[in-house]
Chain A
Amino acid sequence: MVALVIGLALFFDFTNGFHDTANAMATPIATGAIKPKTAVTLAAILNLVGAFLSTEVAKTVSGGIIREGSDGVQITPDIIFAGLMGAILWNMITWLKGLPSSSSHALFGGLIGAAIAGIGFNSVNLETLLQKVILPAIFAPLIAGLVAYLCTRLAYALTSRHDPETGSKLTQKRGGFRTGQIFTSSLVALAHGTNDAQKTMGIITLVLISAGTQSPGSGPQFWVIAACALAIAVGTYAGGWRIIRTMGSGLTEVKPAQGFAAETSTASAILASSHLGFALSTTQVASGSVIGSGMGRKGTTVRWNMVGRIALGWLFTLPAAGVVGALTALLVKTGVVGVVIAAVAGTAAVLFMFAYSRKSAVGHHNAVEVEEAGQAVRFSKKKAFARARAKANQHKDVQR
């Protein structure tokens, strides 16, 4: 059972990385700052590094949402197995729909559902749930969106160039932001690694402790850290292209300066929150930033019906993963046969979704259409610039 749970936890880590590549790399891919393949490779490496950098979060995972320990209930590997099942299935469904949804919420939801079904309603700490999951879910996109909005306005205000004599627009030369995007998106990927790989480490450590192979209160062992870091890196490299498409071009059109502002806000929000202890979801912060930066640039429209779909997905994340977790917990309760049925059914569901996704494959080649435009611009950059300059000069001459 322990081995099964560890395997499942690592697979959850894989889906987590897979799901969240978009947070870091959707905007630079959309603006053509980095080529898709390079982007996911970079993100994977940085996730790997980030996972090794800090294991603070791992020590406080599940953070008292389920009353564990001596005075509360004992979390068994069964419950964790059920919870992970719920989280993985919900991650796969949202990926199929191309919805960026929080992997941590799916995990919490699955665990909560499993605990309620397996132990009872009093096993869940409602106040902590409100404080650690529901409130951050409301404020994460708000804070990130507002900051990204301000940053986008600032970036455009500071770089808008007008001819001092005639007041006509000069070439704006904002290409520098495209280079900047490489750094900011790397920062987001790093932040993601320091945050999200920790959750799986915490889960595996929890399993090892509950199975009695590790002393309570100790941190994650080295092989656990290494395995989790690898799993999330591989997942990131596999790339959830469907979600990248949504984040990169589904919400709003992203220009380099906007992308730069959005990524800076995302990175600061995640790093600030994980450092100061008010955990915010990476996905929700990133989506909020993209929307905020979309509102910050003049002449851009935010596709609100897409925003609505994503928000709906967020609302359902916790209960849906919870229901799957609860069902699995009930199955597992019946004994070994139940565990086998649950494992087989889960694998079948995942395989089915993979097969289904093949029907309309979204890969690095067609994730974002803007990407081709970006490359085209890169190839004929000098020519385009020369043309633009010539045009501007002509314009001036005419006005004179």
Chain B
Amino acid sequence: MKWLELLTVAGATLVSAVTVVVLYSLGVRLTAIAGDARQASPRSKRYFAYTCFGLCGMAVMFGLYLIIPYFSK
């Protein structure tokens, strides 16, 4: 049986999905805070939000890079 492979797939799924979701959620959250009118420092929050979205996008790109055989050769 390939229990180890199954575990690897489960683990990889969990790690990658949680990474993307956490980063994106943080981005959404920070955008929301930055959108609030009466916040002390909306500017920096907005930059943080963009950073989160950027990191999220990079995580996805890295995943694709790992998967597409053309790059990994």
Contact = CB atoms under 8 A, between A and B. Distances in A.
B13 A158 contact: no
Contacts of A280: 9
A295 interface: no
What interface size band does chain A fall in?
35 or more
A269 B13 contact: yes
Contacts of A154: 18, 21-22, 25
A291 B64 CA distance: 26
Interface of A: 53-54, 56, 131, 135, 139, 143-144, 146-148, 150-151, 154-155, 158-159, 161, 172-174, 176-177, 180, 183-184, 187, 194, 257, 260-261, 264-265, 267-269, 271-278, 280
**8 tightest Cβ-Cβ pairs between the two chains A and B:** A173-B32, A176-B28, A158-B25, A272-B12, A268-B16, A151-B21, A268-B17, A269-B13
B32 A159 contact: yes
Contact of B9 (A56, A148, A260, A276): A276
Interface of B: 1-2, 5-6, 8-10, 12-14, 16-18, 20-22, 24-29, 31-33, 35, 60, 63-64, 66-70
A185 to B, nearest CB: 13
B25 A147 contact: no
Given A159-B29, A277-B5, A280-B9, A264 B17 contact: yes
A139 B68 contact: no
Contacts of B22: 154, 158
A159 B21 contact: no
A67 B25 CA distance: 48
Contact of A150 (B18, B24, B26, B69): B18
A159 B63 CA distance: 25
Given A158-B28, A271-B64, A278-B5, 13 more contacts: A144-B13, A151-B18, A155-B24, A174-B28, A176-B32, A180-B24, A257-B25, A260-B24, A261-B17, A264-B21, A269-B9, A272-B16, A278-B9
